[in-house]
A and B are shown apart, each in its own frame.
Chain A
Amino acid sequence: QMQLHESGPGLVRPSETLSLTCTVSGDPISTSSYFWGWVRQPPGGGLEWIGNAYYTGSTNFNPSLKSRVSISVDTSKNQFALNVSSVTAADTAVYYCVRQGRTLLRGTFDNWGLGTLVTVSS
C-alpha cells in the first residue's frame, strides 16, 4: 500500500521560505506513471494545486504561485520537496503531498498524504 507523509515546520515567519518534504513509501518515486505534487487548503477553504515534479526533475506550476515555488525530487531517498519563498499570512494552509496520474489515472490526484498545517505568523 503506497503512502505519502509530509514533514516540516508548522510555523514560518512572514517573508521567509516555507519548506516541506514528502516521503513516499511502498512505491518507487522513479516511475514513468506518475508526477509527485503539492496541493494546499487554507483553513475553511478549497483546494489549490501548487505544482508537481516528474522523477527526472521536470516541473509544472500553478501560474499564480510560479514565481515563489520550487519542487525537487530525491530518488535516492524516495522523497520530494516543496519550497515557497516570501510567504505571507495568505500562505497559511494545510499542505498535502499527492501522487498525480501521468500515464496511469492521467490527470487525477489518486493518492494523498494526511496533510500538514503550516501557519505563517511572526
Chain B
Amino acid sequence: EIVLTQSPGTLSLSPGERATLSCGASQSISSGYLAWYQQKPGQSPRLLIYGVSSRAAGIPDRFSGSGSGTDFTLTISRLEPEDFAVYYCQVFGSSLWTFGQGTKLDIK
C-alpha cells in the first residue's frame, strides 16, 4: 500500500502569491494515477488535477500539477481569495485508493 505524505501541513500566503504544495509517495507511482482535490470548509472535496497534470473540467489554468516517481507538486500560480482551502493528493494502485493527510492553505 502506497503512503502519501503532504508538506507543508499549513502554508500561509497572500493573494497574488505563488503556492507550491508537495506530495511524496512511499514508493514510485509508475501508473500516473495521482490526483489533487480542493476542499473548502463545509463543502465536499472537488477534483482539481488527475493523471498527475491534467486539469479537471472547469478548473482554472492557474492550477497545475507536475512530478514523477515519488515526488509530486500542485502549483497555484497566482492565489485568488477563493483558493484558500485544504488540498489533498490521492493515488490509485493495486485496487487501493489512498489520500494524503492534506495541506491547509491559509491567508497570511
- Identify the A interface with B (CB < 8 A): 37, 46-49, 52, 60, 62-63, 96, 100-101, 105-110, 112-115
- Identify the B interface with A (CB < 8 A): 1, 31, 33, 35, 37, 39, 44-47, 50-51, 56, 88, 90-92, 95-102
Interchain CB contact under 8 A, B44 and A108: no
Query: A46-B102, A63-B1 given as contacts; is B44 within 8 A of A115 (CB)?
Result: yes
Q: Which residues of A contact B46 (CB under 8 A)?
A: 112
Q: Dominant SS at the A interface?
A: strand
Q: By CB atoms of chain B within 10 A, which of A47, A105, A110, A113 has the most?
A: A47
Q: Which of A46, A106, A114 contacts B33 (CB 8 A)?
A: A106
Q: Which of A37, A63, A107 contacts B35 (CB 8 A)?
A: A107
Besides A108-B92, A109-B45, 8 new A-B residue pairs in contact (Cβ under 8 A), listed by A number: A47-B45, A49-B97, A60-B96, A105-B56, A108-B56, A109-B47, A109-B97, A110-B56
